[in-house]
């Protein structure tokens, strides 16, 4: 059966790439953009820009109003509880750094900062470095042999010294969903703050934060068909009130003299300097676009393609699939070919997939490999893209094996 995507035509880059003979299967690195986002950026820049929260002129007020509305739109999309705020950052990486620095004063020597063994460097290094600065202990929740989080072992590692739990919703390498609910409840029962890294998860299933109950949730707009340079930090107001600001500059304060300052509460107290205004306004257009897509059809499309991708890889000898991928991406190695050699030949045939450590070097060590290839899907991919990938893979293997 030829699986086509009803949304492909909404992404002009796909046709342009096709003209150049290129196939894009690297959406987990960053996603192509829908036409409404391009229109919104063009509109904003062509109609006259203004800075937000500063100007008293009409243009400034209009821009500020539109900017603030996007916060509400994002909160609605995340099904965020009312006692919460949306903070705009430059990406997931910046959002997690904001949290690690914001919580620093509360971390004492001997406290435990918990992460899982499959975290992206963006959700490992800020906590690793915080632990080193404060004499705290980084606790790593282990994986079982199949690459799934070992829930029983994990639960035994969350205890009275746990101050933070920072964990992914969906692995960007193994493609598996993590069992968040029991871990969140257990960590919060110990008085710890829970940070969920939704950078990969939100692309395939927007969370219901009312149900999830985490204290903080972060993601990047560019992976979910929005512009780059923009991230989102959701926080419960009570949790945000515990954070110290970490970047200092314009519009994040109520009052300052030369020697002391009084800072604003969230969100503005955590948005020092001119924010990525065009990206925020553009993201609103992406969200409106995503809203009118039938979610069930979208998920079903990705699942069918994902299953074809998995089956095709499983049928080829010498391929080892990493973990037990559940959503829209598959990482793999070949028993006798180096990943970068394979990736090079696949790339020469016009197919874009990712290779390397996927910003998860400790996970690669755990799996006993020095890198892997990853094919990842967006809602615009179709069966023809997969066929092109398999053709390229087979030709590369013919040359290399």
Task: Report the number of secondary-structure helices (H) and strands (E) in the chain.
Answer: 15, 15
Nearer to ligand PMP, 313 or 363 (CB): 363
Using CA atoms, how far apart are residues 243 and 265, in angstroms rounded to an integer?
10
Nearer to ligand PMP, 86 or 345 (CB): 86
106, 120 in Cβ contact below 8 A?
no
# chain residues binding ligand PMP, by CB under 6 A? 12
Q: Does 168 bind ligand PMP (CB under 6 A)?
A: yes
Answer for which of 111, 197, 302, 382 binds ligand PMP (CB under 6 A) is 197
Give the x/- contact pattern for ligand PMP in 42-81, rule: CB under 6 A.
Answer: ----------------------------------------
- Non-local (6+) Cβ contacts of 385 within 8 A are 23, 24, 25
| Radius of gyration of the chain measured on its C-alpha atoms | 22
Q: Does 26 bind ligand PMP (CB under 6 A)?
A: no
Shortest distance (Å) from residue 222 CB to ligand PMP: 6
Answer for which of 74, 113, 117, 122 binds ligand PMP (CB under 6 A) is 122
Nearer to ligand PMP, 120 or 204 (CB): 120
**Is 359 considered catalytic here?**
yes
Residue 266: CA count within 13 A, CB half-sphere: 27
Q: Does 286 bind ligand PMP (CB under 6 A)?
A: no
Shortest distance (Å) from residue 367 CB to ligand PMP: 16
Backbone angles phi and psi of 68, in degrees to 5:
-65, -30
- Non-local (6+) Cβ contacts of 365 within 8 A are none
Closest CA to 220 of 202, 205, 207, 238: 202
Q: Does 92 bind ligand PMP (CB under 6 A)?
A: yes
Residue carrying structure tokens 């001119």: 274
Catalytic residue among 359, 383, 395, 400: 359
Q: Does 331 bind ligand PMP (CB under 6 A)?
A: no
Answer for which of 91, 175, 235, 378 binds ligand PMP (CB under 6 A) is 91
Shortest distance (Å) from residue 158 CB to ligand PMP: 21
User: 10 Å Cβ neighbour count for 310?
Assistant: 17
Q: Does 199 bind ligand PMP (CB under 6 A)?
A: yes
Residue 94 tokens read as 């910046």
Nearer to ligand PMP, 235 or 312 (CB): 235
Burial readout 362-382 (b: 16 or more C-beta within 10 A, e: otherwise):
bbbeebeeebbbbbbbbbbbb
For the annotated catalytic residues, the residue numbers are 359
Interface contacts to ligand PMP, rule CB under 6 A: 91-93, 120, 122-123, 168, 172, 197, 199-200, 220
């Amino acid at each position: 059966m030829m699986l086509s995507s009803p949304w492909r035509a909404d992404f002009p880059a796909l046709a342009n790439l096709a003209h150049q003979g290129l196939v894009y299967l690297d959406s987990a690195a960053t996603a192509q953009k829908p036409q409404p986002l391009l229109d919104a950026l063009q509109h904003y820049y062509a109609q006259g820009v203004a800075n937000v929260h500063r100007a008293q002129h009409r243009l400034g007020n209009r821009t500020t109003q539109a900017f603030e509305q996007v916060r509400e739109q994002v909160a609605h999309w995340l099904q965020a509880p009312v006692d919460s705020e949306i903070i705009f950052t430059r990406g997931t990486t910046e959002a997690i750094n904001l949290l690690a620095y914001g919580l620093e004063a509360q971390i004492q020597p001997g406290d435990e900062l918990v992460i899982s063994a499959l975290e992206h460097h963006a959700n490992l290094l800020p906590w690793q470095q915080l632990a080193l600065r404060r004499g705290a202990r980084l606790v790593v929740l282990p994986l079982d042999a199949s690459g799934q989080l070992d829930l029983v072992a994990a639960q035994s590692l969350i205890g009275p010294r746990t101050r933070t739990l920072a964990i992914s919703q969906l692995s960007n390498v193994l493609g598996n969903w993590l069992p968040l609910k029991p871990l969140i409840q257990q960590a919060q029962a110990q008085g710890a703050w829970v940070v969920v890294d939704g950078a990969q998860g939100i692309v395939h299933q927007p969370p219901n934060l009312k149900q999830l109950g985490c204290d903080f949730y972060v993601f990047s707009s560019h992976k979910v068909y929005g512009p780059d340079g923009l991230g989102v930090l959701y926080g419960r107001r009570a949790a945000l009130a515990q954070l110290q600001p970490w970047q200092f500059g314009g519009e994040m304060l109520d009052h300052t003299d030369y020697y002391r300052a009084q800072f604003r509460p969230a969100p503005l107290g955590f948005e020092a300097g001119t924010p990525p205004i065009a990206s925020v306004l553009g993201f609103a257009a992406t969200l409106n676009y995503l809203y009118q897509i039938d979610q069930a059809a979208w998920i079903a499309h990705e699942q069918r393609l994902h299953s074809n991708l998995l089956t095709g890889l499983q049928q080829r000898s010498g391929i080892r699939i990493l973990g037990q991928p559940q959503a829209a991406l598959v990482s793999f190695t070949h028993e006798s070919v180096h990943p970068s050699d394979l990736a090079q030949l696949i790339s020469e045939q016009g197919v874009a997939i990712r290779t390397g450590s996927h910003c998860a070097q400790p996970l690669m060590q755990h799996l006993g490999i020095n890198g892997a290839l990853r094919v990842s899907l967006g809602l615009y991919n179709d069966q023809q893209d997969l066929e092109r990938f398999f053709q390229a893979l087979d030709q590369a293997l013919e040359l290399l094996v």
